[in-house]
Amino acid sequence: MSVDGWNTVLVLGGIRSGKSEFAESLVADAPVVRYVATAPEGDPEDTEWATRLATHRARRPGSWTTEETTGEPRRLADVLGSAEPNETLLVDDLGGWVTVLLDPEYQPADDVATIAELAEAIRSCAARVVLVSPEVGLSLVPTTPLGRAFTDALGAANRAVADACDAVVLVVAGQPAWLKPSTPTATAAPTGSASVGSVRTAARHAAPSQAAPSQATAGRTDASLGDAEPTPEVQLPEVLTHTPPVAPHQEPGTPWAAPTMALPMVATGLVIQPGMELPMPDEYAGPQAVDRLATLDVPGAGLGVLDRVVGFAAATQGTSTPVAWGSVRVLLLNGDHAGGASAGTVTGESARRAAQARAGRGALARLAAEAGASLQVVDTPAAAPMETQPALSGEQVESALRHGWRLADQAADAGVQLLVLGACGAGTEAAAAAVLAATAGAEPPSVLGRVITASGEIDDAAWMVRCAAVRDALHRTRRSPRSAKDVLAELGGGDVAVATGMLLGATARRVPVLLDGPVGLAAGMVSRDLAGQSRHWCLLADHGQHPAVRLAADVLGLTPLLDLRLDLGEGANALVALPLLRSVLALAAALPVHPSLSGDVDPDGTDEPPTGPEPDYDEPAYTGPGYTDPEFAEPEPAGPGPTRTWGDEQPASGWRAG
């Protein structure tokens, strides 16, 4: 599908507005499309309706497959839920689906619950989906009860689906107007049967970023890397090791992460390209682990929102009884961004932070030592000023992606069970904001956090310089492609590129990643466009009130577990939360099932009365050292006690007399 950065799109429009043709043009570049037909066949004598259906069928290419859900409205959610990540679905349309939903044959039916199920299925759908729906809210209120029921139900469905989709477009008289987000990157490729006017309209309203590549990107290595010259790989940095605790219930030497796929290789090394088939977490283990929590022997209501930690660990470990992460590695990415992106940053500050971490000093190193985590400082390529030129060359992007993948491979081979991603480079927040603006349609000022000086003051002038740098970079690249690698080259820089490769490599090796900060979330946005499975291996402990993190987390479907509002540096915030997450997993793994649920109500596990001598309740409970039997105790010597004053006495109410 040629809507970069989004997996789900809702196309709204009135009757004969061209909405179906526009939706079909969005999926025209997909190799295989599954067309989900929702409209009923109608009256056999209604020739006009039959002609409409025949016209729709004639426009579909022969490579498309058709699936009908007219027999059962609830089946649409099942179709979306079972779709594979490499599939593309076109659902046309929700008006027909609501018509079947309100059919007396399916009454009484809870249409509100069915619409909610559909919206949830769209949010969790792994495939790319385009949904078509008529917009009837602009007409008069129908005069019949059935007409009002239809418009009300369809309006509710459109609102729920629009909220669940990544992008929404309204087609009026053949003219698409993007509603969510306001400036998407979209290309409407014409189909063979589309009218000339619709093709011309689609091309006119395509985002400028889809035009021919700029000179800066010309001649770069393509996705296959077949014509690229071999690029020497950078030596992996040293790992500062701390002895991690041994995970319970884990046999020594048993790897948690193993190779799960055979990726294409060429002379230059690993090929990282869009559409990679990476593994998904176990879809059954997570819900089973959360259900098991309700049976544990705890005095209160349970773990609250932290049950998501148990579900995540269970899914990524592939068991309903997950254990706490024993071996943890922190990857600290150090790469500066030149130009206005680093406005307000003290020169050499990032290098000082990296040297501090290597020496085992500073907040991040101390927290890593407390958690028993190893620390690896990774120097990434410095990024050029993005407002005037590409941040990296195409070859640097390829090398950085492979380097990040190798870091994840190295960690998995060492038995690491959890990766924590951090960054300390200058200008990282502005680079992450530029990536979010390009991939999620965000406005730079809304995702750029305030600039805080070393003295704790807010530097508004530096913040405005950063905003201007991101704005100018987006303007410079307005006619450049918005593919994942192009975004990394033009805007992201070395740290985001290495982080992206690391997320993809960790996904391939089934190693979960704890994200923390703008660089990690920006890499999550880019890696999703290369392999949508990667976001399911990521966990976000806290958003730290950072606007870019909050927006990216919302797009990626990552709900922060905590709201501590920490700002200790990217990576350190996650390490603060790590002991709590480990404790939750250890508690969930160690607690037994409540006796009332297991059928074991006897304290000793038998149905027989307890045996042994009856306890003598007249005897004291403690007879150890220092104990004196009152029968043989010597009387206290008579005499005046310690001197006390009236002011020393404390009334029982807690008030002090005086």
Q: Which two tokens stand for residue 358?
A: 């290597």
**Environment class of residue 287 by beta-carbon count within 10 Å: exposed (0-12), middle (13-18) or buried (19+)?**
middle
Distance CA 546, CA 535 (A): 19
Spell out where 444-557 has E strands. Answer: 513-515, 538-540
Question: Is it true that the peptide bond before 181 is cis, omega within 30 degrees of 0?
Answer: yes
Calculate the alpha carbon distances from 191 to 27, 32, 295 in Å. 9, 14, 55
Identified catalytic residue from 24, 135, 387, 570:
570
Contacts of 283 (CB under 8 A, 6+ apart): 315
Q: Spell out a b/e string for 219-241, using b for 16 or more CB atoms within 10 Å of the CB, else e.
A: ebbeeebeebeebeebeebebbe
**218, exposed or middle or buried, with CB in 10 Å at 0-12, 13-18, 19+?**
exposed
Sequence-distant contacts of 296-300: CB under 8 A, at least 24 apart: 296/588, 296/591, 296/592, 296/593, 296/594, 297/591, 297/592, 297/593, 297/594, 297/595, 298/591, 298/594
| Structure-token pair, residue 3 | 């809507």
How many Å apart are CA 58 and CA 409, to the nearest integer? 49
The structure tokens 């948690």 sit at 256
Respond yes or no: is residue 229 known to be catalytic: no
CA–CA gap between residue 481 and residue 219 (Å, rounded): 14
Q: Tokens 């769209």 appear where?
A: 122
State the residue for tokens 């990040």: 404
Residue 298 gets which letter from DSSP?
-
Token output for 333: 């990415």
Region of 517 (left: φ > 0; alpha: ψ -120 to 50; beta: rest) is left
Matching residue, tokens 């943890």: 328
First and final C-alpha spacing in the chain: 81
- The answer to whether 289 and 311 are in contact (CB under 8 A) is yes
Residue in the block written with tokens 């904001």: 433
Check whether the bond before 108 is cis (ω within 30° of 0): yes
Sheet holding 34-37, edge to edge: 65-68, 34-37, 88-92, 128-134, 8-13, 167-172, 175-180
Task: Give the catalytic positions in this structure.
Answer: 570
